[in-house]
Amino acid sequence: MLTTTLHPDRALPADTALRPLAREIFAATRDLPLVSMHGHVDAALLADDEPFPDPAALFVVPDHYLVRMLVSQGVPQDALGVPRRDGVAVEQDPRAIWRTFASRWHLFRGTPTRLWLEHVLVEVFGCDEPPSAQSADRLFDHLSERLAQPEFRPRALFERFNIEILSTTDAADSGLADHARLAAAGWGERVVPTFRPDAVVHLDRPGWRDALTALEQRCGYPIEGYRDLVRALEERRVAFKAAGARASDHGHLGADATPLTDAEADRIVVAALRGQVDPGDAVAFAGHMLFETARMASEDGLVMQLHPGVLRDHDPAVLASRGPDVGYDIPVPTDFTRGLRPLLTAFGHHPGLRMVLFTVDEDTFSRELAPLAGVYPAVRLGAPWWFLDTPDGMRRFREAVTDTAGFYNTTGFVDDTRAFCSIPARHDLARRIDAGYLARLVAEHRLTLDEATETAVDLALTLPRESYAPR
Amino acid sequence: MLTTTLHPDRALPADTALRPLAREIFAATRDLPLVSMHGHVDAALLADDEPFPDPAALFVVPDHYLVRMLVSQGVPQDALGVPRRDGVAVEQDPRAIWRTFASRWHLFRGTPTRLWLEHVLVEVFGCDEPPSAQSADRLFDHLSERLAQPEFRPRALFERFNIEILSTTDAADSGLADHARLAAAGWGERVVPTFRPDAVVHLDRPGWRDALTALEQRCGYPIEGYRDLVRALEERRVAFKAAGARASDHGHLGADATPLTDAEADRIVVAALRGQVDPGDAVAFAGHMLFETARMASEDGLVMQLHPGVLRDHDPAVLASRGPDVGYDIPVPTDFTRGLRPLLTAFGHHPGLRMVLFTVDEDTFSRELAPLAGVYPAVRLGAPWWFLDTPDGMRRFREAVTDTAGFYNTTGFVDDTRAFCSIPARHDLARRIDAGYLARLVAEHRLTLDEATETAVDLALTLPRESYAPR
Amino acid sequence: MLTTTLHPDRALPADTALRPLAREIFAATRDLPLVSMHGHVDAALLADDEPFPDPAALFVVPDHYLVRMLVSQGVPQDALGVPRRDGVAVEQDPRAIWRTFASRWHLFRGTPTRLWLEHVLVEVFGCDEPPSAQSADRLFDHLSERLAQPEFRPRALFERFNIEILSTTDAADSGLADHARLAAAGWGERVVPTFRPDAVVHLDRPGWRDALTALEQRCGYPIEGYRDLVRALEERRVAFKAAGARASDHGHLGADATPLTDAEADRIVVAALRGQVDPGDAVAFAGHMLFETARMASEDGLVMQLHPGVLRDHDPAVLASRGPDVGYDIPVPTDFTRGLRPLLTAFGHHPGLRMVLFTVDEDTFSRELAPLAGVYPAVRLGAPWWFLDTPDGMRRFREAVTDTAGFYNTTGFVDDTRAFCSIPARHDLARRIDAGYLARLVAEHRLTLDEATETAVDLALTLPRESYAPR
């Protein structure tokens, strides 16, 4: 499996009636540039362009997919070097962390993590054996050596990966200094920010007050009520747009977007500023801010990305000891049909609004998402997200939404990557799965091969470009 | 793709181990007559037997699948000739409407609309090129010429389509005059009405008062309370049965069927007659009327078809400007297990009741529908409905319900067609998909080929006939 | 189909690219011993080791899968010999019951019941023709003759089936006398009890008071409040462990596991003892007892099996006339993410807890179950359960959970069998389906054949052994 090259037909359908068609369709997309508009790579990585530190820091510690799997099998987070908030020491030796991971490679059988890592190790770093207890040290040394070479620095990889544009994710208060450095270095067109105001619109999250203070400092005036908050957000959207932003990004527990009156919204914000946050009010305010964001987006043209339905930090003790984003976010059912109704009634036909919906609740694929995207001009469906960004998840997505939404109400492939080196792996995999799905339509005489090939190119490149085009 | 004939193997499995089996199974059903018991064709169409007006009026304007896809991609409904309630002019030129559609043919890739239209254009009308900006005028002229010929009038097509029986959908107050004309012309056995009382049992829908008045006029007495309403409905059921009706049809938001006392039901109706409709009361009353309908059905033998779970008119502005049924109905989760419990407890074993359940919430396939149909003798599962009436939707339906309900607790294929000319396309597609599913069971040695072929015939013809047989 | 042997490739993928791989993978597991840790076979069957009475009593009357299908097609339960509580006579003639079943064999096409029965009839009993009206008597005679032979007694079949260990299901008050007899006969290691306290923790179920009385008698002291109940349960867990139990088993309507204070729990129990059971209190107490069970399990190491989400006895009239477990249990949606949160927060990382989750709501596969099992070390996913214990259900399970949970957060195959003779059929089928899924991963170059084969053995044997190992 892990030799010096991966099998050229990997993740294409095995069926002999489909594989040759899939191969031909995939060939039309395999070398197309990558449009990466929903990533979580830190802009500083590319602004600094320093070498990556070591294999553990690159592949293990920050990858919550990987950490959660090892934790589920009894590996303590300490042994993986996941930092603690209380300052107690965790494993610091990258080689030890790497060994812990490598000796448990079998746990990843059948997972996308396996496929992504295999791609990165073989295609990007030229490893020639799979991770194991036996190979761990050899791989660690091999990777360390490569990481020290100039062609493995972030910008060199960015070029090699053929990334056309990469979007980062940035808090509302961000000064976008790293993006300014990138622009000064001539990289401003290729790395753009995304506006993510979650921290200041969720009044009941622990960091809300700090986030608001940071926003006040960025804006230079106090935020004393709802209108101040809206003004601040609108100003930051202008600044983000000026720095190249194409989109905003919104992670909410639900998809509710019921507007409040300005007076009601103000009452809730003023109470929160006094430290009084009613849980129901906080939920209602978050829903209101989705509605309000759609209003702003319809005016300034920033694409509005919504990915609801994840209960963050399922285990509060882990949140307390390790912080967020360490693998304890668990999906819940999401009601798009009723939740988005007020927003879509108000802005669903507005020519200025483009809204991209993501989900981790695949039950909504055919029941809600495809029917909504299949009628409201403002709505596009993003790629299957997070736990569903997998070969079978992507296949089920196409099989469930194409009937009603077609291909052209989707954005094509959008990765959601924290791990910079895995960006090509993810696009490559998505292109293979879409090629396989399209091959089936051809083999069942539901599309011509020409149509399928054109559609594959659209899903890989044209639709992501067009979906996030400056407006 | 669109040559003068469609590929004979279209929509059969591509797998070389399955296709020959699927071909053989499909051959046993391809020429069987069509039983079409859940359609929305207007009886006047067949009573008048006038030529269809033009290609736009036939294929575009009234097809909400097609209109919604074009709207979702930014085509204004005005440009598609969808009438406005305010009388403002919309596009009137059929050729212009047809061009707008034809130039966007690529949007339908992967959708059932593509498959149905292809079938109709090629098999019914002998078109020899796919719709496109370039071919639009040629196709329009070709279709117009055909529509003027006597063999393309409704009754001639009905014969050619080999329709054994077609059921229309008729409001409770309908006098069934068109059906009387059909009967007088000797078509009474072939075109029958279906009793649809939705308009008079949903007290909170805008047209309720008008629908009730129409029912009063039909019955010849005032409806002043619940008992009058029940009496009127029972009388109309008798009249529908006399006109050949086999079934009633019920579209509710939920599947709740909790009975009220007669006194409580009367209180709600009397209040509604005074213009006072509490939203909760309206929902409770609709649920009660499902229960009451089951009671009536167990006595008079009309098959009770229930298709719940669609939030109608998601955008109230579109409802106000264009009316209902223009593509803005969006599914919501449906609770069959708890909702139907009172009804099934009371009538689920009644020898007089046959209840056919449809859904657009495929999550209920294995969780609720198959377990219910797999034990209650009164329950049969209809075909996958509306957004799920697709190749992959039908396949998922069989894969999810057969385990627990088998084949013989389903009705076989039931189309839900407004577009008269697409009736054969829909049956043809369903027969192909069932053949593919059965071929897999044979190839996996789970059924013999003889059993599979017999089952295919049952799904195509025997079960639809038997499920809606006069009782 | 039913000749003297079944097709060796049955239930393997038909695809020519997959079948040879699936065959090779399956060959590695087909003869492995069976670990059957979640069954409902009566321990007395093996303690007595008497011959099975007759074909109807063995195959028809007690099999709720089979009875419900026949009932759904209009066969009265009386005709199937399902006993009535009111003492009214039901069909007593085993041959008549068998004929009623055999003549309706076509109803089971496509169902797992068909596959299991075919396996049992052909592989276990050497029948050489399928059930039908014509063959019914011949089969009845053939089976009767076999059942009279010593090699068809329960222990002989147990040996022939190559069962390594079989777990029964036993009420909290059980004295485990049959297990003691088995132990005395040297079978104590091979047949072990499972602790099922449902009857005493669901205060609102009809038999609660009787079950509590039985528990009091077993323990030898009155249960006068919550602390007494906990003491009694803990004592019984000790007794069950001493008798070889590895696990407890919990069937709840929901997955809620919110703890109450001891005082609140005591208030509810004391009220129930006075005959006052508030429905909300009963639900809250059941949820509390899940939490409390996790606490006990983390201390004594009994594996905690939870299978929620079934509304028992959907038709109360059937419950009244026939009792529970006759086919009227219908699934409902289940909320694992929020429901289990308190329990997992408290015990999800506890080294003593192993919790195995089952579901009949497949919507939770990718959305909730895989994400939970993929991070909490205490959680493993059981096999797809009940209505989902089917070829396509098992395939969908692997396709939906492996992405996020991998293989090693599942227990491998766990049957849930009342029908002793079908145990090998169920394991055989599961091994075939897993082989087919793994073959696809190999053919798509996502796993090596060596990895797939090793994984297949783990799913068939290593993981079930390890998941239920004494702790």
pLDDT in tens, A308-347: 999 999 999 999 999 999 999 999 999 999 999 999 999 9
Pick from B10, B72, B329: CB nearest A445: B10
Whether residues B403 and C110 touch (CB distance < 8 A) is answered with yes
Is A19-49+154-467's fold the same as A51-152's? no
Sign of the Cα torsion B379, B382, B387, B388 reads positive
Beta pairing partners, C379 = C355
Buried b (16+ CB within 10 A) or exposed e, C9-38: bbbbbbbebbbebbbbbbebbbebebbbbb
Tell me how many helices (H) and strands (E) chain C has.
23, 11
When scoring A2, A12, A66, A72 by the number of chain C Cβ atoms within 10 A, the one with the most, hence best to mutate, is: A72
- What average pLDDT does range B198-225 have in this prediction? 97
Chain B residues whose CB is inside 8 A of the A410 CB are none
Structure tokens at A278: 């009613």
Interchain CB distance below 8 Å, A345 and B10: no
Q: Do C110 and B440 touch (CB under 8 A)?
A: no
| Packed helices C423-443 and C391-405: angle between N→C axes, nearest 10 degrees | 50
Residue of chain B whose Cα is closest to the Cα of C389? B403
Per the listing, tokens 């006990």 go with C296
Position C4 scores a pLDDT of 62
- Nearest-Cα distance to chain C for B17, in Å, is 6
Phi-psi region of B87 (alpha: psi -120 to 50; beta: other; left: phi over 0): left
pLDDT beneath 50: ranges in chain C: 1-2
- The answer to whether the beta carbons of residues A337 and A98 sit under 8 Å apart is no
CB contact under 8 A, C406 and A11: no
pLDDT at B5: 81
Is A363 in Cβ contact with B13 (below 8 Å)? no
List of chain B residues whose C-beta atoms are within 8 Å of the C-beta of residue A367: 331-333, 360-363, 387
Contact A341 B314 (CB under 8 A): yes
Rounded to a whole number of angstroms, the distance from the CA of B465 to the nearest CA of chain A is 28
By Cβ distance, the residue of B10, B72, B333 closest to A409 is B72
Q: What is the mean pLDDT of residues B358-365?
A: 98
Q: Report the distance separating Cα C354 and Cα C296, nearest Å.
A: 11
Which residue in the set C6, C332, C362 is minimally distant from B338, CB to CB? C332
Interface test with B, best of C71, C332, C387 (most B CBs within 10 A): C387
Which band of pLDDT confidence, cut at 50, 70 and 90, is reported for residue B1? very low
Report whether pLDDT(A2) > 60.
no
Name the nearest CA neighbour of C337 among C305, C312, C302, C374.
Answer: C374
Q: Which amino acid is at C283?
A: V
Minimal C-alpha gap between C290 and chain B (Å): 23
Q: Is the pLDDT of residue A30 over 80?
A: yes
Q: What CATH number does the domain located at A19-49+154-467 have? A: 3.20.20.140
Mutate one of B361, B367, B459 to test the C interface: name it (highest C CB count within 10 A).
B367
What is the residue-wise DSSP string for A188-225? TTTEE--EE-HHHH-TTSTTHHHHHHHHHHHHTS---S
- Judge whether residue A400 has pLDDT over 70: yes
CB contact under 8 A, A444 and B391: yes
Minimum distance, in Å, between the CA of residue C384 and any CA atom of chain A: 18
Q: Give the pLDDT of residue C102.
A: 98
Give the model's pLDDT for residue C151. Answer: 97
Pairing of strands A310-311, A330-331: antiparallel
Asked if B277 and B204 count as a contact pair (C-beta separation under 8 A), the reply is yes
Tokens describing residue A373: 């995207």
pLDDT at B453: 98
Q: Quick one: what percent of chain C has pLDDT higher than 70?
A: 99
**Which chain A residues touch C444 with a CB distance below 8 Å?**
9-14, 391
Residues A360, C372: C-beta atoms closer than 8 Å: no
- For residue B345, pLDDT beyond 50: yes
Position B433 scores a pLDDT of 98
Contact A403, B396 (CB under 8 A): no
Distances (CA, A) of C410 to C345, C377, C378: 20, 11, 11
Task: Give one word for B408, left, alpha or beta, with left for phi > 0 and alpha for psi -120 to 50.
Answer: alpha
Tell me if B109 and A371 make a contact (CB, 8 A cut-off).
Answer: no
Query: Nearest-CA residue of chain A relative to B8?
Result: A445
Contacts of A108 in chain C (CB under 8 A): 406
User: What pLDDT is attached to residue C460?
Assistant: 98
Residue of A nearest to B328 (CA): A375
Map residue A159 onto helix, strand or coil. Answer: helix
pLDDT per residue as tens digits for the range A215-259: 999 999 999 999 999 999 999 999 999 999 999 999 999 999 999
The span from the first CA to the last CA of chain B, in angstroms, equals 45
Task: Search chain A and give the residue with CA nearest B116.
Answer: A446
* Locus of tokens 């088998």: B406
End-to-end CA distance of chain C: 45
Sign of CA dihedral A234, A240, A241, A247: negative
Note the pLDDT of residue A1: 42
Collect all residues of chain B within an 8 Å Cβ-Cβ radius of residue A376: 72, 315
Nearest C-alpha neighbor of C357 from the set C342, C345, C374, C349: C374
Domain boundaries, chain A: 19-49+154-467, 51-152
The beta-carbon neighbor of B366 closest among C328, C362, C391 is C362
Q: What is the pLDDT of residue A471?
A: 78
Contacts of B19 (CB under 8 A, 6+ apart): A17, B9, B12, B13, B439
Using CA coordinates, name the residue in chain B closest to C13.
Answer: B444
- pLDDT classification of B464: cutoffs 50, 70, 90: very high
CB contact under 8 A, A387 and C371: yes
pLDDT of residue C1: 42
- Chain A residue with CA closest to B359: the answer is A367
Is the separation of the CB atoms in A119 and A6 below 8 Å? yes
Nearest CA in chain A to C372: A330
pLDDT for A357-376, tens place per residue? 999 999 999 999 999 999 99
What SS3 class is residue C355?
strand
Q: Which residues of C touch A428 (CB under 8 A)?
A: none
Residue among A14, A71, A112 minimizing CB distance to C15? A14
What is the C-alpha separation between A280 and A268, in angstroms, rounded? 10
Strand arrangement of the beta sheet that strand C303-306 belongs to? C170-171, C195-196, C247-250, C303-306, C355-357, C379-381
% pLDDT > 90, chain A = 97
The answer to whether B158 touches B210, Cβ cutoff 8 Å, is: no
How many Å lie between the alpha carbon of B376 and the closest alpha carbon of chain C? Answer: 5
Taking a C-beta distance cutoff of 8 angstroms, is the pair C122, C2 a contact? Answer: yes
Choose among C27, C24, C37, C10: nearest CA to C383: C37
CATH topology of domain B51-152: uronate isomerase, domain 2, chain A (1.10.2020)
The mean-pLDDT minimum among B3-17, B411-425, C294-308 falls in B3-17
SS3 track for C88-113: CCCCCCHHHHHHHHHCCHHHHCCCHH
Query: Backbone phi, then psi, for A415, in 5-degree steps?
Result: -85, 165
pLDDT of B4 reads: 62
A106 contact residues in C (CB cutoff 8 A): 408, 451, 454
Domain B19-50+153-467 fold = TIM Barrel (3.20.20)
Q: What is the pLDDT of residue B471?
A: 78
ipTM over 0.95: yes
Candidates B335, B365, B408: best to mutate against C (most CBs of C within 10 A) is B408
Distance between CA A296 and CA A298 in Å, rounded? 5
Find the mean pLDDT for residues A131-152: 98
Which residue bears the tokens 């919504």?
A306
First to last CA, chain A: 45
Q: What 8-state DSSP symbol labels residue C260?
A: P
Pick A214 or A3 by higher pLDDT.
Answer: A214
How close does chain C come to A409, measured CA to CA in Å?
24
Q: Which residues of A touch B74 (CB under 8 A)?
A: 351, 377
Q: How far apart are CA C199 and CA C216, in angstroms?
A: 13
Cβ separation of C114 and B446 shorter than 8 Å?
Answer: yes
- Average pLDDT rounded to a whole number, residues B91-100: 98
